[in-house]
Amino acid sequence: MSTYKGIQGYTVQKLSSDPTASEVEGQLWYNSSSNTWKISANVTGAWAAGGALTRSNGKVNVNGAGSQTATIAAGGYSPSYYTYSESYNGSAWTATAALNAARYETGMGGTQTAAICIAGATETAPTLYETAACETWNGASWTSITDITTRRGTLAGCGTTTAALGAAGNYGTTQTPSWQFSVLTEEWNGASWTEVGDVNNARNYICQAAQGTVTAAVINGGTPLTLGYKTETYNGTAWTEVADSNTDREHGGGFGNSTSAIAMGGYSSGPVVTDKAESWNGLAWTQEAVMASAAIGPGGSGSGSAGIAIGGQDNPSGTLGTCEEWQGGILVRTVTTS
């Protein structure tokens, strides 16, 4: 009779805890703590309805930090800018303490109990002013910290309250009549901001993956739409242009990290509001299931295999109060027999 070693070429490992799913894709192991057999498999992803935001009229240009079942979202535009902050437990949103500075189009990073909110825009159209204000969240309240060196809106953010990045975006006093696209990247060390390696392509309205780190970050898409396919990764020193996405998008959303992320929604060629989503595995992009609602400017939080799209606009004037949860990618499954 065939053995697993004979078929696969190696024996089954006994582990006290499950490894990271992406590190052991396609492998089988025995979890001695739970007395179960486990396997890591690439599964077909799907979107499902998540809890509605507490603001009944929805929100756009809000960003989040944390996991699919433990997120903090702050700021946003609905239809004016807000200090509003709320948390998600995997089923429902609850209002929390407000930001000190009203803003939208921020960069975010961290967890539900330790997050950072970086810069953003602070006025209403047609004149949009950028801010340098930054704040950290401790699970109960927001605290103002040292301003980022160059004020910016629509930037990408990731990291933690003691090690964060703010990259690209638009800067200056006003972004009308012409936007000033930024290549700047700044790093936060818990006390001050320092300018580090520039992104290769100046852009704003980027799909950010807030679970990235100061040594492993990823950005995709943005304005101008000619850069809508472009992806760059950061290694702690420099940004490198890597594989293009399948869909060009600006003003889209994203979540995850540099090796497992989702980009979704936004404006695509036309431009039209898109419901398309795709996954990043650190090497290439793959088209995934479309969202239930096409959305401009959705926020994002969570991992590439379990995340949440937060609000957005279903057209240039209408905001969404809905959220969508993503489940897919490489997951750890318990092996059962019958």
pLDDT digits (tens, 9 = 90+) for 206-245: 998 999 999 999 999 998 878 899 999 999 999 999 999 9
Same domain membership, residue 14 and residue 142: no
Same domain membership, residue 102 and residue 28: no
Find where tokens 């092996």 sit. Answer: 335
Same domain membership, residue 171 and residue 32: no
Select from 74, 250, 243, 246 the least CA-distant residue to 170: 250
Token pair, residue 197, equals: 């390696």
Same domain membership, residue 275 and residue 313: yes
Residue 125's pLDDT band (cuts 50, 70, 90): low
Same domain membership, residue 164 and residue 85: yes
Three-state SS at 81: strand
- Quick one: pLDDT at residue 7? 56
With 50 as the cut, is the pLDDT of residue 84 above it? yes
Q: Cα(149)–Cα(130) distance, rounded to whole angstroms?
A: 12
Same domain membership, residue 247 and residue 139: yes
pLDDT digits (tens, 9 = 90+) for 294-327: 999 999 999 998 999 999 988 766 778 889 999 9
Q: Cα(256)–Cα(334) distance, rounded to whole angstroms?
A: 23
- Quick one: pLDDT at residue 65? 97
Select from 42, 299, 18, 22 the least CA-distant residue to 154: 299
With 90 as the cut, is the pLDDT of residue 334 above it? no
In three state form, how does the secondary structure of 11-76 look?
A: CCEEECCCCCHHHHCCCEEEECCCCEEEEEEEEEEEEEECCCCCCCCCCECCEEEEECCEEEEECC
Lowest pLDDT segment from 105-119, 176-190, 222-236: 176-190
Residue 29's pLDDT band (cuts 50, 70, 90): confident
Same domain membership, residue 38 and residue 21: yes
With 80 as the cut, is the pLDDT of residue 330 above it? no
With 70 as the cut, is the pLDDT of residue 113 above it? yes
The CATH number of the domain holding residue 81 is 2.120.10.80
Same domain membership, residue 183 and residue 91: yes
Q: Phi and psi dihedrals of 130, rounded to 5?
A: -90, 155
Select from 67, 77, 99, 102 the least CA-distant residue to 86: 99
Residue 288's pLDDT band (cuts 50, 70, 90): very high
- Quick one: pLDDT at residue 126? 47
Residue 38, Ramachandran bin (φ over 0: left; ψ between -120 and 50: alpha; else beta):
beta
More confident residue, 68 or 16: 68
pLDDT digits (tens, 9 = 90+) for 249-266: 999 999 999 999 999 999
- Structural domain for 73, as ranges: 44-328
Residue 80's pLDDT band (cuts 50, 70, 90): low
Q: Cα(33)–Cα(270) distance, rounded to whole angstroms?
A: 53
More confident residue, 21 or 178: 21
Share the mean pLDDT of the chain: 87
Same domain membership, residue 168 and residue 26: no
- Quick one: pLDDT at residue 138? 98
Q: Cα(47)–Cα(130) distance, rounded to whole angstroms?
A: 33
Same domain membership, residue 141 and residue 16: no
- Quick one: pLDDT at residue 128? 60
Lowest pLDDT segment from 36-40, 92-96, 180-184: 36-40
Burial of residue 302 (CB within 10 Å: 0-12, 13-18, 19+) is buried
Per the structure, the count of domains in the chain is: 2
Same domain membership, residue 303 and residue 173: yes
Same domain membership, residue 283 and residue 246: yes
